[in-house]
Amino acid sequence: MTPDLVIFDCDGVLVDSETLSVAALLGMITLAGGTISEEIAYEHFLGKSMKSVREILLSDFGIDITDQHLTGMRVELMRKFREELKPIPGIGQV
Protein backbone atom coordinates (compact mmCIF):
# COMPACT_ATOMS: atom_id res chain seq x y z
CA MET A 1 0.00 0.00 0.00
CA THR A 2 1.31 3.44 -0.93
CA PRO A 3 0.40 6.26 1.45
CA ASP A 4 -1.44 9.25 0.00
CA LEU A 5 0.32 11.64 2.34
CA VAL A 6 3.30 11.68 4.67
CA ILE A 7 3.58 14.40 7.31
CA PHE A 8 6.91 15.13 9.00
CA ASP A 9 7.59 17.09 12.14
CA CYS A 10 10.06 19.39 10.42
CA ASP A 11 12.36 20.42 13.28
CA GLY A 12 14.62 17.61 14.36
CA VAL A 13 13.33 15.35 11.58
CA LEU A 14 14.05 17.26 8.37
CA VAL A 15 16.15 20.17 9.69
CA ASP A 16 17.58 21.33 13.00
CA SER A 17 16.39 24.91 13.41
CA GLU A 18 16.42 24.93 17.22
CA THR A 19 20.11 25.80 17.47
CA LEU A 20 19.68 28.71 15.07
CA SER A 21 16.57 29.93 16.88
CA VAL A 22 18.31 29.87 20.25
CA ALA A 23 21.34 31.71 18.81
CA ALA A 24 19.07 34.45 17.41
CA LEU A 25 17.23 34.67 20.74
CA LEU A 26 20.48 35.00 22.68
CA GLY A 27 21.63 37.73 20.28
CA MET A 28 18.39 39.63 20.85
CA ILE A 29 18.74 39.30 24.62
CA THR A 30 22.29 40.67 24.42
CA LEU A 31 21.09 43.65 22.35
CA ALA A 32 18.42 44.28 24.98
CA GLY A 33 21.16 44.49 27.62
CA GLY A 34 20.64 41.05 29.14
CA THR A 35 22.66 37.90 29.49
CA ILE A 36 21.49 34.32 29.89
CA SER A 37 23.17 31.04 29.11
CA GLU A 38 22.33 28.80 26.18
CA GLU A 39 21.28 26.13 28.67
CA ILE A 40 18.80 28.50 30.34
CA ALA A 41 17.44 29.51 26.92
CA TYR A 42 16.76 25.89 25.98
CA GLU A 43 15.20 25.12 29.37
CA HIS A 44 12.94 28.18 29.56
CA PHE A 45 12.05 29.14 25.99
CA LEU A 46 12.15 26.23 23.55
CA GLY A 47 8.72 25.67 22.03
CA LYS A 48 7.19 28.77 23.60
CA SER A 49 5.50 31.65 21.80
CA MET A 50 7.36 34.96 21.58
CA LYS A 51 4.66 36.47 23.78
CA SER A 52 5.52 33.94 26.49
CA VAL A 53 9.25 34.42 25.95
CA ARG A 54 8.89 38.19 26.42
CA GLU A 55 6.83 37.72 29.58
CA ILE A 56 9.32 35.25 31.08
CA LEU A 57 12.31 37.41 30.18
CA LEU A 58 10.74 40.39 31.92
CA SER A 59 9.32 38.62 34.99
CA ASP A 60 12.12 36.13 35.67
CA PHE A 61 15.20 37.90 34.30
CA GLY A 62 14.30 41.61 34.26
CA ILE A 63 14.99 41.83 30.52
CA ASP A 64 12.56 44.05 28.59
CA ILE A 65 12.27 43.05 24.93
CA THR A 66 10.93 45.80 22.67
CA ASP A 67 9.15 45.40 19.35
CA GLN A 68 12.34 46.69 17.72
CA HIS A 69 14.33 43.88 19.36
CA LEU A 70 11.80 41.33 18.08
CA THR A 71 11.95 42.69 14.55
CA GLY A 72 15.74 42.53 14.59
CA MET A 73 15.68 38.97 15.89
CA ARG A 74 13.25 37.86 13.19
CA VAL A 75 15.43 39.41 10.47
CA GLU A 76 18.50 37.68 11.93
CA LEU A 77 16.69 34.36 12.26
CA MET A 78 15.55 34.43 8.63
CA ARG A 79 19.13 35.21 7.58
CA LYS A 80 20.37 32.26 9.64
CA PHE A 81 17.74 29.99 8.09
CA ARG A 82 18.73 31.06 4.55
CA GLU A 83 22.47 30.74 5.15
CA GLU A 84 22.92 28.09 7.84
CA LEU A 85 19.91 25.75 7.96
CA LYS A 86 20.98 22.25 6.95
CA PRO A 87 19.04 19.02 6.50
CA ILE A 88 19.36 16.31 9.13
CA PRO A 89 22.02 13.81 7.96
CA GLY A 90 20.45 10.96 6.01
CA ILE A 91 17.15 12.70 5.25
CA GLY A 92 17.97 12.73 1.53
CA GLN A 93 17.71 8.95 1.47
CA VAL A 94 14.14 8.95 2.81
| pLDDT value at residue 13 | 75
- For the chain, domain boundaries: 18-86
Task: Give the CB-side neighbour count of residue 92, counting CA atoms within 13 A.
Answer: 3
Give φ, ψ of 11 to 5 degrees: -75, 125
| 46 compared with 62, residue with greater pLDDT | 62
Residue 94 has pLDDT above 80, yes or no: no
Q: Are 70 and 50 in contact (CB under 8 A)?
A: yes
| pLDDT value at residue 15 | 87
| pLDDT value at residue 5 | 81
Task: Give the CB-side neighbour count of residue 58, counting CA atoms within 13 A.
Answer: 9
Q: Are 77 and 61 in contact (CB under 8 A)?
A: no
| CATH code that applies to domain 18-86 | 1.10.150.240
Rounded CA-CA distance 47/79 in Å is: 20
Q: Is 70 left (phi over 0), alpha (psi -120 to 50) or beta?
A: alpha
What does the pLDDT look like over 51-92, one tens digit per residue? 999 999 999 999 999 999 999 999 999 999 999 998 888 877
- The pLDDT > 90 percentage for the chain reads 70
| pLDDT value at residue 87 | 87
